[in-house]
Chain A
Amino acid sequence: MPAAEVNTKEQSSKKLQQSNPDYDPNIVVEAQNLSKIYHDFWGRQKVRALKALDLEVRKGEVFGLLGPNGSGKSTTIKLLLGLLFPTSGRALVFGKDASEVTKNEKIGYLPEESYLYRFLTAEETLDFYGRLFDMPAKVRKERAAELIEKVGLTWAKRRQLREYSKGMVRRIGLAQALINDPELILLDEPTSGLDPLGTREMKDMIIELKEQGKTVVMCSHLLADVQDVCDRIAILYQGELKELGRVDSLLKVSDETQVRFDNVPESAHAEIRAVIEKHGGNIISMENPKTTLEELFLSIVRESSERPGHRSDRAAN
């Protein structure tokens, strides 16, 4: 990162500390007793979408909001973005109120469906969003080219989005979320509508962002996606926070031990069983592990792209 940019970020951080004495630069997102009730036209309570949510997202982590449909994940994201107003409580982003426009300078947002202008081309789309960040023409152009290449749409950059497949629109949606090189990226169901390859690429992208020191908040109901990329998760159910913590500690089964090894003959299995029983252990299963369907699919696709025209050896078996 250029020195000048670092200085600017430090200055803006200092400014924030001056204007908000409680601001901790390590806490990027903060929900304080955040509640949202939807009302009907007559002001009567319709749905209580979020109930007194308290959480913090720290700088540099990938945070997942997990829950079934209607649990309040998207509502939380919309409250953090200022698209909805809280019924009570506060949503703070970079120490600023969520309704503050200037906070958006450091935010990238990918909505649940890529709500983009279908009459624009990929280039025009990124140019438009770049302008909204007040980026000079040269920077906009470079950044747009870089992102289009990164999401693999160089070949279709001059086509209107109306001609794009759902996956392609999702990719350009991600590109628009990254146009300003944001510090915080909010992803609403990021893998929705993507094929396994796209899903994998999206997850790789999230991990890459984390490696770059970005903070990512994502919400999803696809548990595997969350498990693969998130450092910490919050589980919501009917608008209430049910669980909050690190993924690895939440998923750890303390009273079981898993050992994986290779090149051990079948004959050694009996000895291993004997050792475990000797120590009072109970063998739950001992078998050859299976790969995931995702892994299988990805390896077939990889092989096919390396050897076009050949049928996969695995498929023959």
Chain B
Amino acid sequence: MSDSQFYENQFLKLSEWFPGAVGVFGPLMLALILMGVVFGYLVAAFRHGAGEGFYIVAQTVGGFFPDWLRMSPRRVWAIARLAIKEAFRRRVVMVTFGLFALAILFGGWFMNSNSDHPDRIYVNFVAFGTQMLVLFMGILVASFSLPDDIKNKTIYTVVTKPVRASEIVVGRIVGFTAIGTALLTLMGIVSFVFVWGGLTHTHQIVGENQSIASFEDIDPTTRLNQLGRRVSNGAIKTFQTTMDDGHRHTGELIEDIRDADSPPMDASNVVSKEVLPNGQIKYRRVIVDLAAGHTHGVKVSGDGDNATITLGPARGFFRARVPYYSDSLAFFEYTGARKEGGVDVGRELNRQGFFDGGTPWLPNTLSRAEFDFSGIVESRFEDPNLVVLEMNLGVFRTTKANIQKRVLGSWQIESVPENPEEGRVVSERFTFESQEYQTQLMPIKRKIVGQKTDESGNFEPSAEFDLFDDYAKNGKLKLVLRCEDPNQYLGAARADVYFRSADQPYAWNFFKSYLGIWAQMLVIISLGVAFSTFLNAPVTIVMTAVTMLVGFNTEFIREMLSPDHVGGGPLESFYRIVTQNSMVLELDPGIGSTLLEKSDQLLVQMLASLTYIAPNFSIFNFSESLIYGYDISLDRLGVAFITAFAFFIGFSILGYFSLKTREIAK
């Protein structure tokens, strides 16, 4: 799944999606049924004549509703149980789990715990492995079952009982899904233990004892820590931890001077505090630096140099962040005019829109990105007094400028009154340093200094306003981001800036991502069973696998149709690889290149048509959310389940008609 698809899927709202989906599903089913009836009639008329053909089709169509309405759960379950026993007999399930167990047993050897994001590697490994194994198991069991029954004629003793074609198809799907569910559950539990066990660790502080006394002073000339990295401003001592799990951390003892009314968010790492003459408080705190994508909490007992330091479990893994996205994002250029999609700074970054910091000659830039939020109410946040804004901003530099200095941005919030005559409340601009390639956390206090407009639109004197009672009085809030560095750009997409609520439990998120695999499995099994009603086993396997691959690569295939696509289609690309021809150069004109292009066009058109029939698997794929540490919303889960069940129903009906209209015996 591409990045943009992943971010698009983050916004799925079941209530908005459902009416549109029904609008597509209903007519599509109707069209397919009509096409089936017409095709069926043509075949029947060819074989039996026009009149008899009509009678046969009428009889088949007429039997549809009774056959589905009178389905017996006992018969469906009997077929399902048989399918389960059959799958066990074929040992497909055991082999699948055996392969998975092998991968888990030896996979740990190849995991790089020292990478930037070991959690992503672990989760990706288990999620992708499970997904592929379960789907291929689904394809195998679904493809062989019915063709083998027909080949061995065991189906004779089944269809000569009062069993409906619908029961045979649905029973098989239910049976294979049940066995897949059991397998998936087992694999899910093993995967969770593997990920949890693989990433859970702690460290000891290197030194004679676990106290501040073992920390080292910082060389004031270099201000580097033990690993040769620059220490933070305010750092007075450093330490390093033992090497565990393939990495070590450094840490600092910093002096943090704050106003009396704004204590540090995490008080557990405070070693001492001292009230200064001006009323401010000087905190001494122990901070563990980021390594291998995580840090560790610190527990301090005692104070002063004798304070004992204990490192807690890793922080930064096992997250399921719950983002509150804006309803819309609009970009405005320096003239104040709205600019669709922001500034495009290059194809490779086209997911984000960019806004510039103006030029030195026009410093008061009006270029900005505006995010409109709704539903901003106290109850949605874990701590209403300190709301967290999270940003993944892109940075684009037109000049090198000061390479040590990060590009500056600012944020500002304002109310969005229902009635334009009501006064607006606009906050001050708050400047921040952008953190490229990192997720940036911005704690926002409840009381924010701003100005209110009077009836004539003039600003009143500055005052403190409440985030919920004044700014987001009606639940609506506008967040404005600006780039404050001339000649530089900041970039953002709608998914990049959001407010955060309390995290969801990681295990629950893990479970939800496996529900996504389950939904994929249901679709694949339904597809395999439907194909197996009219194809033999090998052809069913190929057809199901091709449909699955098309479903996984829907966007990529559609992109190949785009005129911007470089390197041509599959055949041309293959030719270029073999002949080591550059992707961006035109092929030499001639019959060969024309043939290649035309064949590619045909091939890509056919594949692209398939993408409109095959399920788009990105709807069911939640592993990215799990890997990047986002909560899988119930909306997305709902959409995936409804889509999977729609395909289950659609493919069951296809299988039903196919089985009903074919001769079982030869």
What residues on B are CB-neighbors of A85 within 8 Å? 663
A99: B residues at CB distance < 8 A: 59
Bound Cα distance from A111 to B78, whole angstroms: 21
Interface residues of chain B: helix, strand, loop or mixed (majority): helix
- Stretch of A8-16, A128-136, A194-202 on the interface side: A128-136
Min CB–CB distance B568 → chain A (angstroms): 37
Q: Is B72 located at the chain interface by the 8 A CB criterion?
A: yes
Is there contact, CB below 8 Å, between A132 and B664? no
Contact of B164 among A87, A101, A173 (CB under 8 A): A101
Chain A residues, Cβ within 8 Å of B158: 132
A155 within 8 A of B: no
Cβ contacts under 8 Å, A43 to chain B: 46-47
Q: Are A119 and B162 in contact (CB under 8 A)?
A: no
Q: Report which of A78, A87, A133, A173 forms a contact with B161, defined as CB distance below 8 A.
A: A133
A113 within 8 A of partner (CB): yes
Q: Among the listed B48, B72, B78, which residue makes an inter-chain contact with A128, where contact means beta carbons less than 8 Å apart?
A: B78
The one of A78, A101, A111 that contacts B163, using a Cβ cutoff of 8 Å? A101
CB neighbors of A among B296-318 (8 A): none
- B81-89, B175-183, B647-655 - interface stretch: B81-89
- Hey, which chain B residues are within 8 Å of A104, CB to CB? 160-163
CB closest chain-A residue, reference B664: A83
Q: Bound complex: CA of A133 vs CA of B154, how far in Å? A: 17
Task: Name the residue on B nearest A104 (C-beta).
Answer: B162
The reply on B338 being an interface residue by CB < 8 A is no
Q: Are B159 and A82 touching (Cβ within 8 A)?
A: yes
- When distances are taken between beta carbons in the complex, the residues of chain A under 8 Å from B665 are 78, 83-84
Across-interface contacts of B47 in A (CB, < 8 A): 39, 43, 87
Task: Tell me which residues across on chain A come within 8 A of B72, comparing CB atoms.
Answer: 134
- Whole-angstrom distance between the alpha carbons of A317 and B164 in the complex? 60
In Å, the complex CA distance between A107 and B157 comes to 11
Most buried by A among B157, B160, B164: B160
Q: Which residues of A contact B85 (CB under 8 A)?
A: 117, 119-120
CB-based contact B154/A116 at 8 Å: yes
Assess whether A191 is interfacial by the CB under 8 Å rule: no
Say which residue of B48, B152, B163, B663 sits within 8 Å of A83 (CB atoms): B663
- Contact at B162–A132, with CB atoms within 8 Å? yes
Q: Given that A83-B159, A83-B664 are known contacts, is A128 also in contact with B82, CB under 8 Å in the complex? A: yes
- 0 or 1 for each of A169-182: is its CB under 8 Å from B? (1 = yes): 00001001000100
Interface size of A as a range: 35 or more
Q: Are A131 and B157 in contact (CB under 8 A)?
A: no
Interface residues of B in 615-666 (CB under 8 A from A): 663-665
Whether A116 contacts B159 by the Cβ 8 Å rule is no
Residue numbers in B under 8 Å from A122 (CB-CB) = none
- Closest A residue to B661 using CB positions: A85
- The answer on a CB contact under 8 Å between A176 and B162 is no
Contacts of B159 in A (CB 8 A): 82-83
**Interface status of A115 (Cβ within 8 A of chain B):** yes
Q: Which residue of A lies closest to B153 (CB)?
A: A115
B154 and A117 within 8 A (CB)? yes
Contact A105 B59 (CB under 8 A): no
Q: Of A88, A99, A176, which is in contact with the most chain B CB atoms at under 10 Å from its CB?
A: A99
- Chain B residues with CB under 8 Å of A39's CB are 47
The reply on B400 being an interface residue by CB < 8 A is no
Question: Total interface residues on B, using CB and 8 Å?
Answer: 32
- Bound-state CA distance A81–B157 (Å) is 10
Residues from chain A with a CB closer than 8 A to the CB of B153 are 111, 113, 115
A109 within 8 A of B: yes
B48 touches A132 (CB 8 A): no
- Contact of A132 with B663 in the complex, beta carbons under 8 Å: no
Most buried by A among B48, B67, B82, B157: B157
Contact A109 B663 (CB under 8 A): no
* A292 interface hit (Cβ, 8 Å): no
Interface contact A102-B157, CB-CB below 8 Å: no
Residues of chain B with a CB closer than 8 A to A87's CB: 47-48
CB-based contact A105/B89 at 8 Å:
no
A-facing residues in B133-189 (Cβ within 8 Å): 152-164
Contacts of A84 in B (CB 8 A): 663-665
> In the complex, which residue of chain A has the Cβ closest to the Cβ of B72?
A134
> Which residues of chain B are within 8 angstroms of A115 by Cβ–Cβ distance?
152-157
Bound CA span A253–B150, Å? 46
Q: With a CB–CB cut-off of 8 A, which chain A residues contact B86?
A: 117, 119
Complex: chain A residue closest to B163, CB-CB: A132
Complex alpha-carbon distance, A7 and B664, angstroms:
34
Are B162 and A133 interface neighbours, CB within 8 A?
Answer: yes
A43 to B42, CA, bound (A): 13
B77 interface contact, C-beta 8 A: yes
Please, which residues of chain B bring their CB within 8 A of the CB of A134?
Answer: 72, 74-75, 162
- Which of A88, A111, A131 is close to B75, meaning CB atoms less than 8 Å apart? A131
Least CB distance, B157 to chain A, in whole angstroms: 6
Residue from A101, A107, A109, A131 in contact with B156 in the complex, judged by beta carbons closer than 8 Å: A109
Interface string of A137-175 (1 = CB under 8 A from B): 000000000000000000000000000000000000100
Chain A: minimal CB distance from B218 (Å):
73
Residue with the greatest number of chain B CB neighbours at <10 A, chosen from A88, A101, A115: A101
**A residues less than 8 Å from B152 (CB atoms):** 115
* Contact call A81/B160, Cβ cutoff below 8 A: yes
Q: Are B77 and A131 in contact (CB under 8 A)?
A: yes
Q: In whole Å, how far is A173's beta carbon from the nearest beta carbon of chain B? A: 8
Complex Cα gap A36–B86 (Å):
34
Interface residues as binary, B443-472 with A (CB distance below 8 Å gives 1, 0 otherwise): 000000000000000000000000000000
Inter-chain CA distance A96–B357, complex, in Å, is 83
Residues of B within 8 A of A120 (CB): 85
- Interchain nearest-CB distance for A291 vs B (Å): 38
Contacts of A133 in B (CB 8 A): 161-162
Given contacts A83-B664, A115-B154, contact A131 B160 (CB under 8 A): no
Identify A105's interface contact among B74, B156, B162, CB under 8 A.
B162
Question: Complex formed: what's the CA distance from A104 to B154 in Å?
Answer: 16
A115, B52: Cα distance in complex, Å: 33
Q: Which residue from chain B places its CB closest to the CB of A135 in the assembled complex?
A: B74
Given known contacts A101-B67, A131-B74, A132-B161, A83 and B156 CB-to-CB distance under 8 angstroms:
yes
- Bound CA–CA A276/B211 (angstroms): 133
Chain B: minimal CB distance from A163 (Å): 14
Chain B nearest CB: distance from A305 CB in Å? 32
**A117 proximity list for chain B (CB < 8 A):** 82, 85-86, 154
Does B162 contact A129, Cβ atoms closer than 8 Å?
no
B60 → chain A closest CB, angstroms: 9
- Name the A residues within 8 Å of B664 (CB-CB): 83-84
Residues of B within 8 A of A116 (CB): 154, 157
Q: A88-B52, A102-B162, A115-B157 are in contact. List 15 more A-B contacts (CB 8 A).
A: A78-B665, A83-B159, A83-B160, A84-B665, A107-B160, A111-B156, A114-B157, A115-B152, A116-B154, A116-B157, A119-B89, A128-B78, A131-B78, A132-B158, A173-B157
A-B contact pairs, 6 of them (CB 8 A): A78-B665, A83-B159, A101-B67, A111-B157, A131-B75, A132-B163
Shortest Cβ-Cβ A-B pairs, 7 listed: A131-B78, A83-B665, A132-B161, A115-B153, A109-B160, A119-B89, A104-B162
